[in-house]
Structure 1
């Protein structure tokens, strides 16, 4: 098969220009603002797991620019994952952009907005994007799902001339928007809005479904069986397209098992040694280095996140075990065994994901877990803040309910110890239903339903 000819590239550019940008359900912004086109603008890079909605978020921005009066001819969207581009010449990206400017000369003279989707599918994309940003009057937004667009890769290629914007599957508020469920309006400026009993019931029920269905946009309209199959296919897609191409001769079955283990054990400590022993016990042959590398690649592909232990030391702790979290509670549900459905861990996963959204533009390791330096080693699920800068913290404990007195004593007691050690006067216990306040000698503990906390109420 021959590479695309100049004529076929011209046709594909014309097709891309004629593409009607669809109307989209609004997603929360991960890009605060886009500057007017000019040389030396930062390159805006939208990263995230495959199918989380990066392309439609680009469409959202294109619609916004058009609504602001930007000439549509000066906005160019192109998807480099198009199979008709294979096999592609090394100059493919340059050829496509030159053809766009040939067809629309004013876009080069006046400046243009370029939205380049799945750029990692083309060779040499890093150099082309850097040259465009430095020498052309452009505002450049690129998207990608692969580990080739990991933070390390971006830092190496763009050397401080780019800004990464992490996208996640739907938040609970976005999930409600997809399902046309009314949520309290937080923009009114009149404090926390009131929620009627009927609306509270609707939101309670919606959050229950959110913990099962998750937040991948493409599965929201599917029935239960089709949704589970699709989410399992997403995992296989990550393995085939993001992991194997970066890990050499890794056995695909081994990579799948590592991915499944991480998703099924969301909210648990992840020990590479324990994972290696479990794999060897069922016949897999692998080294500690190989398993550790696969875990790292799954993290770079945004399938999982690793939560470190809180520490005020500059030196990393070698005796602590990070907790692993699935990117989405719905994917954890879809890939778990029928006898392994843990509602508490899926609730904890959803809260972790929301905390990562809220702290996306902060420092590294803004969210950690906390283990008290006491004989009892009391644990708190999430501590939010910057230890080394002594900035304010927030403490979050997550549990499905506290009707059992033993559970209540454990959750409240752990928070009391953490409040005493950190000096935090207000802490939170996030549950499915319960709402109350608990006064302690170290401060107030707010018990709040997950739907309410997730909506920022």
Structure 2
């Protein structure tokens, strides 16, 4: 398998060089964090003329480096390697294995000619930890599984076959090196049970692991469906015959988000310009892990495509909400009634905004009108887009809505 270029993340590491902050590379397990830092970034430094002896690399999950899990031993070793006033790049992998790693990293900031980069697994090194422990001294770089463009660049086949495999087995890099479908299935199922689930249960002291595992699977079966802890609690009562309070469910969902297993998209009232704290949507960060939870039984392309689009937008650095357009209309039978129209994604970056609908196919005028209905109700001038898997040429219709082929979007032939 040839090396996959992941320039989006590499460029973030390059941009953060010598900025006085700890560069903290986070993301779901096995998404390529260590490879990007220890292979790609290290190669960049050497290509730019950095002497290899000014790059100090330590992987704490290597038994040979066990002694450096002691913070004082680690700091003394790093200081002993600094021979001059030139910049030394310190690359630390699985840094959560160091005792009091927060103190050790903050101590490194006191050395003027040291530039620090670390990775951490989701078991003890979550985004919430970063916010708490480093308080503005850390620069987080979030790594996602392979985008479809990255996946296709190393896939042996055309984009249509690649899409089929991508929405089935996901974008964890190792998937591309496995030859058979059964190998991929076994890898994903083992990864979830031995790493993700165990990490979450051990880290959080979960006292109801069976119910927690069931909730993860419930979330996997309902991607793209509005829900909240109260609604999920009722689902457990009626379908699982188990009592799980909304408070516990909310806590469990936060754990899953902290572990980068799934992400929450909040509901946004487009006309009222405010967030609605009722129902939200949850999307899985990797489709292969999601499908493995359901034994690869629920492979509905409509929902999977929506999840892939969400992940693509997030991996490009956009903030993504679920839009709602609330209107009142008068009817002869019932007088004034309220109708709610959903917009799949409200996408924000600074002052820019896009409204995006996901449509697997638009075979008729009726279907086009159905997908366009919510967008036509939005009165502002931000771009309104429908992403379609149909093999179409990008075009605007008479309502100013832009129709874009899904692959043109995923393969960067169309840029927001």
> Where on the TM-score scale, by shorter chain, does this alignment land: which range?
0.7 to 0.9
**Hey, what's the Cα distance between the residues in 1 that align with 2:289 and 2:53?**
39
1:144-183 equivalences under 5 Å are 144-146=120-122, 148-179=124-155
Are 1:49 and 2:28 matched, yes or no? yes
Are 1:342 and 2:322 matched, yes or no? no
- The CA deviation at 1:377 is 1.3
**Hey, what's the Cα distance between the residues in 1 that align with 2:177 and 2:189?**
16
CA gap of 1:161–1:36, structure 2 versus 1, over 3 A, is closer
Are 1:351 and 2:309 matched, yes or no? yes
1:212-227 equivalences under 5 Å are 212-222=168-178, 223-227=180-184
Q: Which residue of 2 aligns with 1:14?
A: none
Aligned length: 396
**Structure 1 residue aligned with 2:74, among 96, 103, 111?**
96
Q: What is the DSSP-based 3-state SS (H/G/I as helix, E as strand, rest coil) of the residue aligned with 1:321? A: strand
- The CA deviation at 1:269 is 1.6
Q: What is the DSSP-based 3-state SS (H/G/I as helix, E as strand, rest coil) of the residue aligned with 1:402? A: coil
CA contact (8 A) 2:82 2:88 kept: no
Are 1:234 and 2:191 matched, yes or no? yes
CA contact (8 A) 2:232 2:246 kept: no
Q: Which residue of 2 aligns with 1:394?
A: 354
Q: TM-score, normalised by structure 2?
A: 0.86
What per-residue deviation string (whole Å, max 9, x for no partner) do you get for residues 48-98 of structure 1?
Answer: 000110000112100111111211111122122235667x79x61431342
**Hey, what's the Cα distance between the residues in 1 that align with 2:91 and 2:3?**
16
CA contact (8 A) 1:204 1:433 kept: no
**Structure 1 residue aligned with 2:230, among 273, 279, 290?**
273
- The CA deviation at 1:433 is 2.3
Q: What is the DSSP-based 3-state SS (H/G/I as helix, E as strand, rest coil) of the residue aligned with 2:361? A: coil
Q: What is the DSSP-based 3-state SS (H/G/I as helix, E as strand, rest coil) of the residue aligned with 2:339? A: coil
1:430-441 equivalences under 5 Å are 430-436=387-393, 437-441=395-399
CA gap of 1:177–1:37, structure 2 versus 1, over 3 A, is closer
CA gap of 1:84–1:95, structure 2 versus 1, over 3 A, is same
**Hey, what's the Cα distance between the residues in 1 that align with 2:373 and 2:406?**
20
**Hey, what's the Cα distance between the residues in 2 that align with 1:456 and 1:278?**
40
CA gap of 1:151–1:302, structure 2 versus 1, over 3 A, is same
Q: Which residue of 2 aligns with 1:453?
A: 409
**Structure 2 residue aligned with 1:378, among 306, 317, 341?**
341
CA gap of 1:34–1:385, structure 2 versus 1, over 3 A, is closer
- The CA deviation at 1:205 is 3.5
Question: Is the deviation greater in 280-289 or in 373-382?
Answer: 280-289
Are 1:368 and 2:306 matched, yes or no? no
Q: What is the DSSP-based 3-state SS (H/G/I as helix, E as strand, rest coil) of the residue aligned with 2:252? A: helix
Higher strand share: 2
CA gap of 1:341–1:105, structure 2 versus 1, over 3 A, is closer
CA gap of 1:138–1:384, structure 2 versus 1, over 3 A, is same
CA gap of 1:36–1:283, structure 2 versus 1, over 3 A, is closer
- The CA deviation at 1:401 is 0.6
**Hey, what's the Cα distance between the residues in 2 that align with 1:172 and 1:119?**
30
**Structure 1 residue aligned with 2:40, among 37, 43, 60?**
60
- The CA deviation at 1:292 is 1.1
CA gap of 1:144–1:402, structure 2 versus 1, over 3 A, is same
What per-residue deviation string (whole Å, max 9, x for no partner) do you get for residues 280-300 of structure 1?
Answer: 443444332222111001001
CA gap of 1:144–1:413, structure 2 versus 1, over 3 A, is same
- The CA deviation at 1:353 is 0.5
CA gap of 1:62–1:332, structure 2 versus 1, over 3 A, is same
Q: TM-score, normalised by structure 1?
A: 0.79
- The CA deviation at 1:206 is 2.5
Q: What is the DSSP-based 3-state SS (H/G/I as helix, E as strand, rest coil) of the residue aligned with 1:427? A: strand
What per-residue deviation string (whole Å, max 9, x for no partner) do you get for residues 314-362 of structure 1?
Answer: 97533x21100000222223322554221111111110001001225xx
CA gap of 1:136–1:271, structure 2 versus 1, over 3 A, is same
CA contact (8 A) 1:400 1:431 kept: yes
Q: Which residue of 1 aligns with 2:88?
A: 112
**Hey, what's the Cα distance between the residues in 2 that align with 1:291 and 1:247?**
13
Q: What is the DSSP-based 3-state SS (H/G/I as helix, E as strand, rest coil) of the residue aligned with 1:52? A: coil
CA gap of 1:35–1:309, structure 2 versus 1, over 3 A, is closer
**Hey, what's the Cα distance between the residues in 1 that align with 2:295 and 2:16?**
50
CA contact (8 A) 1:204 1:451 kept: no
Question: Is the deviation greater in 251-260 or in 280-289?
Answer: 280-289
What per-residue deviation string (whole Å, max 9, x for no partner) do you get for residues 245-265 of structure 1?
Answer: 332242222222222222232
CA contact (8 A) 1:428 1:446 kept: yes
Question: Is the deviation greater in 253-262 or in 41-50?
Answer: 253-262
- The CA deviation at 1:279 is 3.0
